[in-house]
Amino acid sequence: GAGVSQSPRYKVAKRGQDVALRCDPISGHVSLFWYQQALGQGPEFLTYFQNEAQLDKSGLPSDRFFAERPEGSVSTLKIQRTQQEDSAVYLCASSLDGAVNQPQHFGDGTRLSIL
């Protein structure tokens, strides 16, 4: 498909386990964003990549959260030693070049549940 693809769609993990969430952006999109959406809230910014460079990670809640995009296309969000408060939907979005006035296109998200 031509849209942003995220996998897995659902992930259940026990507290303390590590998880990895994958995002395949739209082909050719330079900018990639990760957001966290808690139940009943709007998405909240986590981190931003332009190509392979992580230019802003100010939204990552703790040092347990780590994101990478080594070849400037696919990105992985990793959460180490998961906690119950990490339960949320994690959304990935991409845009053509990240400039202002460029709408972001979102994937369907990964719903993460920590038991």
Residue 24 to residue 41: CA distance in whole angstroms:
24
Alpha carbon 43 to its chain centroid, in Å, reads: 11
39 binds other proteins (CB under 8 A): no
Positions of E strands within 1-115: 5-7, 10-13, 19-24, 31-37, 44-50, 53-56, 65-68, 75-79, 88-95, 105-106, 110-114
Residue span binding other proteins (CB under 8 A) among the ranges 11-19, 48-56, 64-72, 73-81: 48-56
Q: Which is nearer to other proteins, 8 or 16 (CB)?
A: 8
Residue span binding other proteins (CB under 8 A) among the ranges 13-21, 44-52, 61-69, 74-82: 44-52
- Residue ranges in contact with other proteins by CB under 8 A: 4, 6, 31, 33, 35, 40-45, 48, 50, 55-56, 91, 93, 95, 98-109
